[in-house]
Amino acid sequence: MSSRIFGSGIRRREDPRLITGSATYTHDIVLPGMVHAVMLRSSHAHARITRIDTEQAKAAPGVLAVYTGADIEGALQPMPCAWLLPDSDLKIAAYPCIASDVVRYTGDIVAVVVAEQPSQGYDALDLIEVDYEPLPSVTDPEAAAADGAPQLHADIEGNQAFHWTVAGGDADAAFAEAEASGVVIKERILQQRLIPNAMEPRGAVAQYSRATGELTLWNTTQNPHILRFLCSVVTGIPEDKLRVIAPEVGGGFGSKIAAYPADFVTVFCSKQLGRPVKWIETRSENYQATTHGRDHVQDVELAATKDGKITGLRCTVHAGMGAYLSTAAPGIPTILHGLMLSGCYTIPALKEDVYGVYTNGVPVEAYRGAGRPEATFMLERLIDMLAGELGMDPADVRRRNFIPKFDDGHKVITTLNYDSGDYPGALDKLLEHTGYAGLRAQQAAGPVNGKYLGLGLSSYVEICGLGPSQVAGAIGFQGGLWESAIVRFHPTGKVHVFIGASPHGQGEETTFAQIVASEIGVSSDDVKIFHGDTDATPMGWGTYGSRTTAVGGAALAVAVRKIRDKAKVLAAHLLEASVDDMEYEDGKFFVKGSPDKAKTIQDIALMANVAWDLPEGMEAGLEASTFYDPPNFVFPYGAHLAVVEVDTATGDVELKGYTALDDCGPQINPTIVEGQVHGGVVQGIGQALWEGAAYDDSGQLVTGSMLDYALPRADRLPPIDVISTVTRSPHHPLGVKGIGEAGTIASTAAVYNAVMDALKPLGVKRVDMPFTPERVWRAIQDAKGA
Amino acid sequence: MFAADFEYYRAGSVAEARELLAAHPGAKLLAGGHSLIPLLKLRLAAPAAVVDIGRIGELHGISNGGGALHIGALTTHAEIAASAAVNAGAEALAEAASQIGDPAVRNRGTIGGNVAHADPASDLPTVLAALGATFTVSGPDGERSLAAADFFQGMMATALGEHDILTAVNVPAAGSGSGSAYVKFSHPASRYAVVGAAAAVTGAGGTCAGASVAVGGATAVPVRCASVEAALAGRALSADAIAAAAAAAGSDFGDDLLGDVFASGEYRKAVAPVYVQRALTAAAERAG
């Protein structure tokens, strides 16, 4: 492997088109005869529709059609849920693309207007008359599970979508013993509802041909191949007549995994009218109807000995699912959460009950980290509380409980087999790099001008590179989780790569070219990566769960190695040598000891393509394809430190410093890794300090715009110090893991712990996220009073 | 989103703008557009007509005369923040203007549009109340001048009549031995003031000859903090004296406090003294 390009922080080739505005997003697709769909969404969180009158809207200028739930009857199947969580009493509520009798959240689609111009569509929306009979609503997941709560779905008792458990060891015995002779720490954690806020809102362009029965769907999706399948299920258009294109997609963070009713309503409109139809959501609509994340109420307890050794963990989680189950929703607070509960630590016994609960909110889906931030948070918070209880430094409690260094598999209590890791090494390096001991000394000197310093650690391990397809089947995921790649050498030695994954901002067009270049000695500039078009690329399961490099990158490496093998045989033939005598180095094939008489990969590409002189039985061309199904997940890990200052006069929290140590294995492009860490860390900080979707008592989204929903801003963030260690995954062809979600998984807990550390001398025990100044200030006032 | 249909007129002069307002009842004035256009796009406002005054040259620019800064209504926040005259004679105003929104907002948004919109969380009204600014209004009966206390009448409500146009804001220029400052607690999303405190201090030789203090964000209109001003008058401008005086800030707020999901009225009132203290401290330092 060439060391020059693998590991080089070359610039992202995606950026010139992105930063000059010349990229083509779904909204940029303009087709002859195209018309525009606009959705009428419910203004009530829960109500019965008693009447809809669309006559005036139908007569409005430019309006071609108005459709309601009655019109799609039989034409659009209900929205499918694609993660059928086993052994969980899963109850999937009917999720119509257009609500016809009851609306269950303020984004439910009630009607669609198709007009020549979008503005005409919006004008016509105001002319649709809908009579609602309001029903009581509930948006808090715990309240929704309580007796007497408003019931969302007639056939689903207690709003319970599922009840999933994970257990290992004898947790109850561990707690009995800790009650008698150790310590038990209890906490209630609210993982507030978050809005993903991809830079590009969602949208679709559907072009149905009545002549051929074929549909092309441009869509803001993270996984076009899955969408093609789901679109076929919902619309009845057979998969072979369906082409899904994910053009440039401006971020997703999980919110573009799911299939959405609006996408299929757009398809329906195109089919009905025989014209291309575009639907693009507004930012307000994005907040109202594109999936949210988190929304857990967690009751957690930790059992430990008096010298800080963890003996058990028990938790009950009420996970808000929103009004319906989104595509992958059931797997997020369960498989991706519960199986990671023991984190970086040896925990001999644990037990968790997760209740998925229907509420009158936007459906909840994966959001960067997806289940793992919620798991990391509960564990890291409890460990800090344990440290406080025992008067130990939080770093020491972590060290006391870490899984020792391992490099080829370690089975944890939840049955997962971690691949490789050195958690103590990561923490030690972090503490040394940040001068942790000095910071503690500074803190011990006391507050300055009423400002208290706080330090927060977060050690994490995450599961990503989803995953072995056999496991996918066992955990109810309605698909495989392998990835594919086709590598095609052209006669001039230039390379086209076709992948099934669908990058949407992560930079894999750059890193995947680096993989090819490093594996076969071409320039990365000679490699073009194609993705995001189901007609042009091989099947793949999409980009989420930090899996694209971990799984798709592996597929690519394997495919390129197949090319290398074939090239070697051809080179041996052309050099009239035995294959066994051939050597390969940096794109050159030569007989041992004669590097000057080498055949370059470009020579081989030409000879393979013209096929004038091939060895007996060799096919022409230089192309390989792979379907790579990983033998295991990968488990990146790291340790983060946040330093905050809390102004006791106002409750304002200032993040003074942040250091992220991440181990994602060998880094293909350190600049891109750093970018992913920055983005991920900031999103996690956002949850701790600023973000939170709030509904009022009637189920209206109070934080309905960026005027109210506070996203992180650069001027309130310190420089983020990014460092790393490198631990190879033993089972991955390149040893790499994943980095897309790491920052988010670690940083919320680090910042939370830092703020609580700062508030400790003031006697503050808990504050709900986000740490708005008022919440912090009130907690200080209450502690003073207590 | 798309605004509902409206008629668009561009006025070439103040007189023409007034005529257009008279001819189109319910018409809205458009200057920098940073208050009106979002309302139109969200369909929270749907006027039949919009009168664009954005290119009326006579409403633009800053001049200095008669001991006051005359700031044309169309002067942008960025121009105010960068103005040497404003930075010399009304530091608090430059400071506030530099903290409004983001560069794009500051490059388009105007002082006239800002104060005419009278958002209680806006920065400039608070500063203008503290600095004793006056507002020049051109109306059907000619021109008149209003003090801040008369101009700001409630949440999103001013003394401007349907056919009035705000043409200028006049700020007394501070002399030597005076200083002013604006300190705000920005909403993390909107950047509007959750609490904004403006203070102007005259304090030659370290003794307070006069102070004026206003707080915005907690009430429908900016509150002049008479208790703070009285407590400080004639006192040495020491840190203790400032802190003691600032502590009284909340007592001037009355009972009608503004609050939302992010910060309650009670909280705004409780932390206002902190921001008043910071503003007074900075102003006293500048008074030298």
The confidence score (pLDDT) of residue A2 equals 47
The confidence score (pLDDT) of residue B42 equals 87
Closest CB from A119, A284, A706 relative to B189:
A706
Residue A773 and residue B270: Cβ atoms within 8 Å? no
Residue A650 and residue B190: Cβ atoms within 8 Å? no
pLDDT tens, position by position, A191-226: 999 999 999 999 999 999 999 999 999 999 999 999
pLDDT tens, position by position, A420-434: 999 999 999 999 999
Residue B263 and residue A282: Cβ atoms within 8 Å? no
Assess B274–A contact: CB distance below 8 Å, yes or no: yes
Give A-chain residues touching B98 at CB under 8 angstroms: none
The confidence score (pLDDT) of residue A129 equals 98
Mean pLDDT of chain A: 97
The tokens describing A311, both together, are 């003996």
CA angle (A364, A366, A372) in 5-degree steps:
120
Please name the residue that has the structure tokens 């016994």.
Answer: A349
The confidence score (pLDDT) of residue A305 equals 98
Give A-chain residues touching B270 at CB under 8 angstroms: 777
**What is the rounded distance in angstroms from the CA atom of residue B230 to the CA atom of residue B245?**
8
**What is the rounded distance in angstroms from the CA atom of residue A218 to the CA atom of residue A534?**
11
pLDDT tens, position by position, A100-115: 999 999 999 999 999 9
Q: What is the 3-state secondary structure (H, E, C) of A116-180?
A: CCHHHHHHHHCCCEEEEEECCCCCCHHHHHCCCCCCCCCCCHHHEEEEEEEEECCHHHHHHHHHH
Best A117, A707, A768 residue to mutate vs chain B (most B CBs within 10 Å): A707
Alpha helices in A339-393 (DSSP H): 372-390
Alpha helices in A445-552 (DSSP H): 469-474, 508-520
CATH architecture of residue range(s) B7-52 = 2-Layer Sandwich (3.30)
Where in chain A are the domains?
A: 31-135+199-251+256-289, 369-461+634-785, 482-628
Q: Please, what is the end-to-end C-alpha distance for chain B in angstroms?
A: 51
Could you say which DSSP state residue A580 is in? G
Name the residue among A114, A58, A68, A76 with its Cα closest to residue A275: A114
User: What is the chain A residue with the closest CA to B42?
Assistant: A284
ipTM: 0.95
Residue B262 and residue A774: Cβ atoms within 8 Å? yes
**What is the rounded distance in angstroms from the CA atom of residue A22 to the CA atom of residue A706?**
26
Give A-chain residues touching B43 at CB under 8 angstroms: 122, 126
- Chains A–B, number of C-beta pairs less than 8 Å apart: 55
pLDDT tens, position by position, A380-417: 999 999 999 999 999 999 999 999 999 999 999 999 99
**What is the rounded distance in angstroms from the CA atom of residue A696 to the CA atom of residue A196?**
20
The confidence score (pLDDT) of residue B1 equals 76
**What is the rounded distance in angstroms from the CA atom of residue B175 to the CA atom of residue B68?**
10
Best A192, A281, A654, A774 residue to mutate vs chain B (most B CBs within 10 Å): A774
Residue B188 and residue A702: Cβ atoms within 8 Å? no
Assess B104–A contact: CB distance below 8 Å, yes or no: no
The tokens describing A40, both together, are 């009428």
The tokens describing A619, both together, are 């096919």
Residue B2 and residue A119: Cβ atoms within 8 Å? yes
**pLDDT tops 90 at residue A739:** yes
Best B267, B268, B281 residue to mutate vs chain A (most A CBs within 10 Å): B267
Assess B119–A contact: CB distance below 8 Å, yes or no: no
Residue A702 and residue B267: Cβ atoms within 8 Å? no
DSSP A684-729: HHHHHHT----B-TTS-BS--STTTS----GGG-PPEEEEE-----
Residue B188 and residue A709: Cβ atoms within 8 Å? no
**What is the rounded distance in angstroms from the CA atom of residue A59 to the CA atom of residue A53?**
12
Looking at CA atoms only, how far is residue A358 from chain B in angstroms?
24
Name the residue among A121, A128, A130, A126 with its Cα closest to residue A44: A130
Give B-chain residues touching A703 at CB under 8 angstroms: 261
Give A-chain residues touching B4 at CB under 8 angstroms: 123
Residue A772 and residue B263: Cβ atoms within 8 Å? yes
User: What is the chain B residue with the closest CA to A283?
Assistant: B1
Backbone angles phi, psi at B162, to 5 degrees: -60, -30
Residue type, A685: I
pLDDT tens, position by position, A72-90: 999 999 999 999 999 999 9
Residues of chain B with pLDDT > 70, as a percent, come to 100
In A547-621, at which residue ranges do the beta strands (DSSP E only) sit?
582-585, 588-591, 599-600
Label residue B175 by pLDDT band (50, 70, 90).
Answer: confident
The tokens describing B264, both together, are 């309650």
Residues 169-198 of chain B whose Cβ lies under 8 A from any Cβ of chain A: 185, 187-190
Where b means 16+ CB within 10 Å and e means fewer, A370-395 reads bbbbbbbbbbbbbbbbbbbbbebbbb
Q: Is A167 exposed, middle or buried (0-12, 13-18, 19+ CB in 10 A)?
A: middle
Looking at CA atoms only, how far is residue B199 from chain A in angstroms?
19
Closest CB from A651, A709, A773 relative to B189:
A709
The confidence score (pLDDT) of residue B66 equals 86
Looking at CA atoms only, how far is residue B107 from chain A in angstroms?
19
Other C-beta atoms closer than 10 Å to the C-beta of A59 total 11
The confidence score (pLDDT) of residue B200 equals 97
Domains A369-461+634-785 and A482-628 belong to one CATH topology:
yes
Best A650, A682, A781 residue to mutate vs chain B (most B CBs within 10 Å): A650
- Asked if residue A120 lies in contact with residue A62, where contact means CB atoms within 8 angstroms, the answer is yes
Give the CATH fold of the A31-135+199-251+256-289 domain. Aldehyde Oxidoreductase; domain 3 (3.90.1170)
**What is the rounded distance in angstroms from the CA atom of residue A647 to the CA atom of residue B129?**
28
pLDDT tens, position by position, B202-220: 987 788 999 999 999 999 9
User: What is the chain B residue with the closest CA to A775?
Assistant: B263
Where in chain B are the domains?
A: 7-52, 62-172, 178-287
Give B-chain residues touching A773 at CB under 8 angstroms: 185, 263, 267, 271
**What is the rounded distance in angstroms from the CA atom of residue B16 to the CA atom of residue B87?**
33
pLDDT tens, position by position, A273-324: 999 999 999 999 999 999 999 999 999 999 999 999 999 999 999 999 999 9
pLDDT tens, position by position, B90-111: 999 999 999 999 999 999 999 9
Closest CB from B185, B189, B262 relative to A650:
B185
- Torsion sign across C-alpha atoms A385, A390, A394, A397: negative
Give the CATH fold of the B62-172 domain. 3.30.465
Looking at CA atoms only, how far is residue B146 from chain A in angstroms?
31
Please name the residue that has the structure tokens 């109810």.
Answer: A476
pLDDT tens, position by position, A228-278: 999 999 999 999 999 999 999 999 999 999 999 999 999 999 999 999 999
Closest CB from A123, A707, A777 relative to B190:
A707
- Torsion sign across C-alpha atoms A543, A546, A547, A549: positive
The kind and range of the H/E element at A232 are: helix A224-235
Looking at CA atoms only, how far is residue A381 from chain B in angstroms?
25
- Torsion sign across C-alpha atoms A54, A55, A56, A59: positive
Pick the more confident residue, A347 or B288.
A347
The CA-atom distances, in angstroms, between A473 and each of A325, A526, A540, A767 are 19, 38, 16, 40
Angle between the N-to-C axes of helices A372-390 and A394-401, in degrees from 0 to 180, rounded to the nearest 10:
110
Q: Is B235 exposed, middle or buried (0-12, 13-18, 19+ CB in 10 A)?
A: middle
Closest CB from B187, B261, B267 relative to A694:
B261
Residue A716 and residue B190: Cβ atoms within 8 Å? no
Partners of A35 in the β-ladder: A277
Name the residue among A513, A670, A666 with its Cα closest to residue A9: A670
Residues near B112 by beta carbon (within 8 Å), at least 6 away in sequence: B31, B59, B72, B73, B74, B75, B166, B167, B168, B169
Give the CATH fold of the B178-287 domain. Enolase-like; domain 1 (3.30.390)
Residue A774 and residue B2: Cβ atoms within 8 Å? no
Q: Is A157 exposed, middle or buried (0-12, 13-18, 19+ CB in 10 A)?
A: exposed
- Asked if residue A175 lies in contact with residue A305, where contact means CB atoms within 8 angstroms, the answer is no
Label residue A1 by pLDDT band (50, 70, 90).
Answer: very low
The confidence score (pLDDT) of residue B100 equals 96
Q: Please, what is the end-to-end C-alpha distance for chain A in angstroms?
A: 64
Mean pLDDT of chain B: 95
Pick the CATH number of A369-461+634-785 from 3.30.365.10, 3.40.50.1360, 3.10.20.30, 3.40.50.10860: 3.30.365.10
Assess B44–A contact: CB distance below 8 Å, yes or no: no
The confidence score (pLDDT) of residue A373 equals 97
Assess B42–A contact: CB distance below 8 Å, yes or no: yes
**pLDDT tops 70 at residue A464:** yes
The kind and range of the H/E element at A203 are: strand A203-208
- Bridging pattern class, strands A215-219 and A451-461: unpaired
User: Domain A482-628 has what CATH class?
Assistant: alpha beta
Label residue A93 by pLDDT band (50, 70, 90).
Answer: very high
